[in-house]
Amino acid sequence: MAKATTEINASSMADIAFLLLIFFLVTTTMDVTTGINRKLPPPPEKNQDIPDIKDRNIMNILISRSDRLLVNGKIGDLGTLKQDVKDFMTPHYPDDPNFPEVKEETIDLIGHVYKSKGIISLKNDRGTSYDMYIQVQDKLAQAFNELRDEFSQKKFHKNYKELDEDRAKAVGKAIPVPVSEAEPENVGDN
């Protein structure tokens, strides 16, 4: 008959596991990286045509090297920037010469919409601080998110973030984020 094997004492297993546990507890970093996602445009092709865009369709935002805002040639304010962008991007129908043009488009799941042809042109100086630049980007993102929320509330009675993928895409098509960053150029000496 086979001899009964002697059992291995497993009482130290907990200690070993504890040791490993403490090691992973110490090395673990639970911080989630958060940030603003952006997509860079592909580099410009040589002798690319400069698209002809009407003045009323462009909102120029310039951040100076002393972190001040210039919106369409007038001194702007970070506090009102979000509302300005929202007003500018809201489609006005019938046509209102003080706001960008609108075009009609048919989008799946939504149907007929009036889409604003407005474009936001963002320009910064080399001396602009990164903090200010992010604040402006944040305000733009807030403005567009609120526009999308309002639109999807009207159409689907839900916030943009709660929509399913197809509907979110449709809303994204109806309200795109036409933020264009100007090709950098040296303004003054720095």
Partner 1 sequence: MSRFKKKGDKETPGISTASLPDIIFMLLFFFMVTTVMRETELLVKINPTSAKEVQKLEKKSLVSFIYIGEPVQAKLGSNTRIQLNDAFATVDDIPEFIAAERESRDEADRKFLTTSLKVDKDTKMGIVTDVKQKLRKVGAFKINYTVTEAKED
Interacting residues with partner 1 (CB under 8 A): 10, 13-14, 17-18, 20-21, 24-25, 27-30, 32-43, 63, 124-131, 133-135, 137-138, 141-142, 145, 184, 190
Residue 2 Cβ vs partner 1, minimum distance, rounded to whole Å: 27
Residue 9 Cβ vs partner 1, minimum distance, rounded to whole Å: 12
SS3 96: coil
Residue 93 Cβ vs partner 1, minimum distance, rounded to whole Å: 28
Nearer to partner 1, 67 or 101 (CB): 67
Nearer to partner 1, 114 or 133 (CB): 133
Nearer to partner 1, 38 or 103 (CB): 38
Query: Residue 170, class by beta-carbon neighbours within 10 Å (0-12 exposed, 13-18 middle, 19+ buried)?
Result: buried
Nearer to partner 1, 107 or 187 (CB): 187
Residue 171 Cβ vs partner 1, minimum distance, rounded to whole Å: 16
CB atoms within 10 A of CB 68: 14
Query: Residue 1, class by beta-carbon neighbours within 10 Å (0-12 exposed, 13-18 middle, 19+ buried)?
Result: exposed
Element (H, E) at 100: none
The edge-to-edge listing of strands for the beta sheet with 119-124 is 74-75, 69-71, 58-63, 119-124, 179-181
Nearest-angstrom CA–CA distance, 116 and 54: 13
Residue 162 Cβ vs partner 1, minimum distance, rounded to whole Å: 15
